[in-house]
Amino acid sequence: MLRRKHYSYRTEQAYIQWIKRYILFHNKRHPKEMGAPEIEAFLTHLAVEEHVAASTQNQALSALLFLLS
């Protein structure tokens, strides 16, 4: 789907990594079983525990919103 929407290869790879990290963070739960609270928990973890920049959080959020679309 990413390629059909003409996303760059680097964006594709970044999104795949964020999606994998999200699933692993939630103990391998299927994304269809999760919603806004899980996304919020993951983004909060990135900010508080991993001290990522706001732009990095935005990229992770974009990847997760793409996954859920």
Can you give the pTM of this predicted structure?
Answer: 0.88
In the chain, where the domains are located:
9-68
CATH superfamily ID and name for 9-68: Tyrosine recombinase, N-terminal domain (1.10.150.130)
pLDDT per residue as tens, the chain (69 positions): 777 888 899 999 999 999 999 999 999 999 999 999 999 999 999 999 999 999 999 999 999 999 988
| The token pair that represents 41 in the structure block | 């928990």
Q: HEC profile for the chain? A: CCCCCCCCHHHHHHHHHHHHHHHHHCCCCCHHHCCHHHHHHHHHHHHHCCCCCHHHHHHHHHHHHHHHC
